[in-house]
C-alpha cells in the first residue's frame, strides 16, 4: 500500500505529472481518487492513522492547476471513500455508535475550499479536519453564516452494518441514446428491488402522526413480554438490540422528500445492509436541488431535526457481499461486483454472515427503472473470506467494462455483447482498474505487485505503429507543376 497521491499524464507516452507524499499527514495509504467534473480538482481518499493506532479515513482535495493541497476532511469509516456532488462540494461520512451492533451514519456535504483565513468559520462538524500548513489560499466566503460543511443525511444502521462506498449519479445524463443498453425481457424473473418510499397519500397522512405512538406501543409490548418471560423464542442481546432499534426508528424516521415532477435530481448511492456487517444491499437516496449547497443556517440551529433518521428511497439486495461498484458514463447503469451467498442461506448472527462464493458476479442495474438488467458478467474470482474481504474497483466506459480480481488478472468485457475480451496478467491481486476518459481503449491496472500497468487495444497499437506517409519536399512539388 502506498501513501502517495500520484497524478499521471495519459498521452501516447504516459508520464508522471505530480506526486504528493501523504505521510506527514499520518496517512497509512491512499485507496481511492476522483476528479471533479471539470477536472480542476482531485479528491484523494486515504486511511488516516490516529491516536492509539486507531484508523479512520481522510479525504484530501488537491488543485490540478497548482498541485497544492486545498483542504482535508475526516471520513469514518475509511471505506466510505467520499465523492464529488458538485464541482466544488464533496460528500464524506461519519459513524456514531448507538449500541453494540446499532449505529447511525451521518453524511456531510463539504466545501472543497476552506474558510478565508482570519474569519471565524461556521460551526464545524466532527467529520471535518482543518488543514495544517502548507495550504492554498482558501476560497473567499460572503458571510460567516455560509457553511463550509452541512449535514446531508442521517441514516440508521442495524446489525453492525455501516454505510460505505458513497457515489453520486446525475439523473440528467440518463437518456443518452448512444449509451443505452437493452434491458432484457420484461417478462423475465422479478428484480431484487424493493421500494421504501411512500407513494399513497393516505399512507403518508397515516405515517405522519401515529408513527411515534405505534412505535411506543410496539416497544411497550416487546418489553412487557420480555419482563414477563413471554417472549418466544427468547431473544439474544443482539437480536433484542436490533428489535428495539427498529421499533424506535419507526417513530423517528422521516418519509422521503419528493422533488417536483420532472425535476432532474441526483442519486446518492452507497452499500449498506440490514442483516449483517457484510455489505449486501445498495441504498439509494434522492438528492434534491436545495440540498446541493452548503449555504444556509449555521450548523446547530436546526437541532430539532437531529431526532430523526432519513429514510431511503430504494434498496437493492444482492444476497451476497458487495466488493465493488461503478457507474456507466451516462450514470444510468450501476455495475456491481458481488460474491454471492449460498442459495437459501439465513443469517442467524449478524457477526457471522454466510460464506461467500469465489466467483465474482458483475451485476447491472438500471437506475432509471430500478430494475436489474439480465446481463450478469462472470469470469473473475476472489478468495478472501467475509471478514477479510476487500474492495475490488471496477470501471465502465462507453463500450467496455473492466474489473480487478484476486486471481492476479484484470478483466475486460464488451458491455453490449456480454463477452469477456481480455485477461491482463499481474503477479499479484489486481485492486483497481480505470479507463482513460479521453480514450476508452487505454486501461490502467494497479496491483499488489507494486506496479501500475498501461494497456492499449491491438487496434490502437496498430494505429500508433502504422508508418505515416512522408510529405513530398516543396521543391519537388514545385518542379512537377512547371512541367
For residues 338 and 265, the model is more confident at: 338
Tens of pLDDT, residues 197-254: 444 444 444 444 455 566 667 666 766 666 666 655 677 888 888 888 888 787 788 8
Give pLDDT, residue 104: 95
The CB density around residue 470, as the number of other CB atoms within 10 Å, is 6
pLDDT band at 261 (very low <50, low <70, confident <90, very high): low
Q: Taking residues 248-264, report their average pLDDT.
A: 74
In this structure, of 113-127, 228-242, 432-446, the range with the lowest mean pLDDT score is: 113-127
Order of strands across the sheet that contains 164-170: 164-170, 266-272, 281-287, 314-317, 193-195
Report the percent of the chain where pLDDT is more than 90: 54
pLDDT band at 296 (very low <50, low <70, confident <90, very high): low
Residues found in the chain: 483
For residue 117, give the C-alpha cell: 483565513
Among the listed residues 168, 162, 169, the one whose alpha carbon sits nearest the alpha carbon of residue 94: 162
Distance (Å, whole) CA 127 – CA 149: 9
Q: Taking residues 423-432, report their average pLDDT.
A: 96
Give pLDDT, residue 330: 94
Distance (Å, whole) CA 145 – CA 241: 40
Give pLDDT, residue 473: 63
Distance (Å, whole) CA 292 – CA 324: 26
Give pLDDT, residue 245: 86
Give pLDDT, residue 216: 62
Is the pLDDT score of 82 beyond 50? yes
Is the pLDDT score of 397 beyond 80? yes
Give pLDDT, residue 188: 52
Q: Taking residues 125-141, report their average pLDDT.
A: 40
Among the listed residues 86, 107, 100, the one whose alpha carbon sits nearest the alpha carbon of residue 38: 86
The CB density around residue 276, as the number of other CB atoms within 10 Å, is 23
Q: Taking residues 178-186, report their average pLDDT.
A: 63
Is the pLDDT score of 119 beyond 50? no
Is the pLDDT score of 187 beyond 70? no
Q: What distances in angstroms separate CA 362 from CA 119, 174, 234, 353, one per listed residue?
A: 49, 21, 40, 21
Give pLDDT, residue 339: 97
Give pLDDT, residue 300: 43
For residues 453 and 113, the model is more confident at: 453
Q: What distances in angstroms separate CA 405 from CA 91, 160, 274, 362, 433, one per listed residue?
A: 28, 27, 27, 12, 10
Is the pLDDT score of 114 beyond 60? yes
For residue 237, give the C-alpha cell: 442481546
| Dihedral pair phi/psi, residue 162, rounded to 5° | -145, 160
Among the listed residues 116, 145, 35, 129, the one whose alpha carbon sits nearest the alpha carbon of residue 73: 129
Give pLDDT, residue 202: 42
In this structure, of 97-111, 119-133, 266-280, the range with the lowest mean pLDDT score is: 119-133
159: left (phi over 0), alpha (psi -120 to 50) or beta: left
Distance (Å, whole) CA 352 – CA 276: 7
Q: What distances in angstroms separate CA 4 from CA 13, 25, 46, 470, one per listed residue?
A: 22, 11, 9, 44
Most confident by average pLDDT, 114-123, 252-261, 443-452:
443-452
Write the CB contacts of 118 (distance below 8 Å, at least 6 apart in sequence): none
Task: Please answer whether residues 131 and 71 qualify as being in contact, where contact means their C-beta atoms are separated by less than 8 angstroms.
Answer: yes
In this structure, of 4-18, 63-77, 233-247, the range with the lowest mean pLDDT score is: 4-18
In this structure, of 78-82, 123-127, 410-414, the range with the lowest mean pLDDT score is: 123-127
Most confident by average pLDDT, 144-148, 230-234, 445-449:
445-449
Among the listed residues 435, 436, 437, 426, the one whose alpha carbon sits nearest the alpha carbon of residue 394: 435
Is the pLDDT score of 8 beyond 70? no
Give pLDDT, residue 55: 83
pLDDT band at 120 (very low <50, low <70, confident <90, very high): very low
Give pLDDT, residue 149: 86
Give pLDDT, residue 215: 61
Among the listed residues 122, 88, 126, 96, the one whose alpha carbon sits nearest the alpha carbon of residue 108: 126
Q: Taking residues 358-375, report their average pLDDT.
A: 91
Give pLDDT, residue 264: 66
Distance (Å, whole) CA 392 – CA 453: 16
Most confident by average pLDDT, 51-55, 124-128, 293-297, 308-312:
308-312
Is the pLDDT score of 457 beyond 80? yes
For residue 382, give the C-alpha cell: 476472489
Task: Please answer whether residues 25 and 45 qualify as being in contact, where contact means their C-beta atoms are separated by less than 8 angstroms.
Answer: no
192-218 burial: b if 16+ Cβ within 10 Å, else e: ebeeeebeeeeeeeebeeebeeebeeb
Q: What distances in angstroms separate CA 85 from CA 91, 123, 148, 150, 170, one per listed residue?
A: 7, 21, 14, 13, 9
Write the CB contacts of 170 (distance below 8 Å, at least 6 apart in sequence): 266, 331
Distance (Å, whole) CA 457 – CA 137: 43
Give pLDDT, residue 431: 95
For residue 464, give the C-alpha cell: 500508433
Is the pLDDT score of 471 beyond 80? no
pTM of the model: 0.82
Write the CB contacts of 292 (distance below 8 Å, at least 6 apart in sequence): 85, 86, 89, 109, 266
For residue 460, give the C-alpha cell: 490502437
Average pLDDT over all residues of the chain:
81
Is the pLDDT score of 14 beyond 50? yes
Report the percent of the chain where pLDDT is more than 70: 74
Amino acid at each position: 500500500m502506498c501513501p502517495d497521491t500520484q497524478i499521471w499524464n495519459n498521452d501516447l507516452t504516459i508520464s508522471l505529472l505530480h506526486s504528493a507524499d501523504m505521510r506527514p499527514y499520518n496517512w497509512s495509504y491512499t485507496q481511492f481518487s476522483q476528479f471533479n467534473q471539470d477536472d480542476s480538482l482531485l479528491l484523494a481518499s486515504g486511511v488516516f492513522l490516529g491516536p492509539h493506532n486507531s484508523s479512520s479515513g481522510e479525504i484530501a482535495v488537491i488543485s490540478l492547476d497548482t498541485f497544492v493541497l486545498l483542504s482535508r476532511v475526516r471520513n469514518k469509516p475509511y471505506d466510505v471513500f467520499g465523492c464529488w456532488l458538485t464541482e466544488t462540494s464533496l460528500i464524506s461520512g461519519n459513524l456514531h455508535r448507538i449500541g453494540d451492533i446499532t449505529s447511525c451514519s451521518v453524511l456531510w456535504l463539504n466545501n472543497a475550499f476552506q474558510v478565508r483565513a482570519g474569519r471565524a468559520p461556521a460551526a464545524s462538524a466532527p467529520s471535518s479536519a482543518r488543514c495544517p500548513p502548507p495550504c492554498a489560499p482558501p476560497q473567499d466566503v460572503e458571510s460567516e453564516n455560509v457553511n463550509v460543511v452541512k449535514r446531508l443525511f442521517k441514516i440508521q444502521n442495524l446489525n453492525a452494518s455501516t454505510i460505505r462506498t458513497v457515489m453520486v449519479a446525475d439523473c440528467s445524463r440518463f437518456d443518452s441514446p448512444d449509451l443505452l443498453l437493452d434491458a432484457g425481457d420484461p417478462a423475465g424473473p422479478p428484480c431484487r428491488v424493493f421500494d421504501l418510499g411512500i407513494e399513497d397519500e393516505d399512507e403518508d397522512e397515516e405515517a405522519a402522526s401515529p408513527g411515534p405512538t405505534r412505535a411506543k406501543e410496539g416497544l411497550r409490548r416487546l418489553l412487557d413480554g420480555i419482563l414477563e418471560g413471554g417472549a418466544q423464542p427468547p431473544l439474544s442481546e443482539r437480536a433484542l438490540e436490533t428489535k428495539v432499534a427498529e421499533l424506535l426508528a419507526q417513530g423517528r424516521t422521516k418519509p422521503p422528500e419528493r422533488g417536483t415532477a420532472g425535476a432532474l435530481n441526483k442519486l446518492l448511492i452507497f452499500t449498506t445492509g440490514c442483516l449483517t456487517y457484510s455489505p449486501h444491499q445498495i441504498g439509494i437516496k434522492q438528492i434534491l436541488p436545495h440540498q446541493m449547497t452548503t449555504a444556509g443556517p449555521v450548523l446547530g440551529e436546526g437541532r430539532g431535526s437531529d431526532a430523526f433518521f432519513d429514510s431511503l428511497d430504494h434498496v437493492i439486495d444482492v444476497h451476497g457481499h458487495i466488493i465493488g461498484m461503478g457507474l456507466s458514463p451516462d450514470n444510468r447503469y450501476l455495475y456491481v461486483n458481488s460474491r454471492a451467498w449460498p442459495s437459501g442461506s439465513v443469517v442467524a448472527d449478524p457477526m457471522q454472515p454466510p460464506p461467500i462464493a469465489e466467483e465474482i458476479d458483475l451485476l447491472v442495474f438500471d437506475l432509471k427503472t430500478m430494475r436489474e438488467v439480465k446481463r450478469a458478467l462472470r469470469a473473475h474470482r476472489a478468495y478472501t473470506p467475509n471478514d477479510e474481504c476487500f474492495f475490488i474497483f471496477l470501471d465502465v466506459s462507453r463500450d467496455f467494462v473492466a474489473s480487478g480480481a484476486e486471481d492476479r488478472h484484470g478483466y475486460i468485457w464488451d458491455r453490449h455483447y456480454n463477452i469477456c475480451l481480455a485477461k491482463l496478467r499481474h503477479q499479484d491481486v489486481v485492486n483497481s482498474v480505470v479507463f482513460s476518459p479521453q480514450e476508452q481503449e487505454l486501461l490502467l491496472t494497479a496491483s499488489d505487485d507494486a506496479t501500475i500497468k498501461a494497456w492499449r487495444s491491438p487496434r490502437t497499437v496498430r494505429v500508433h505503429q502504422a508508418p505515416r506517409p512522408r510529405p513530398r519536399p516543396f521543391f519537388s512539388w514545385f518542379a512537377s507543376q512547371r512541367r
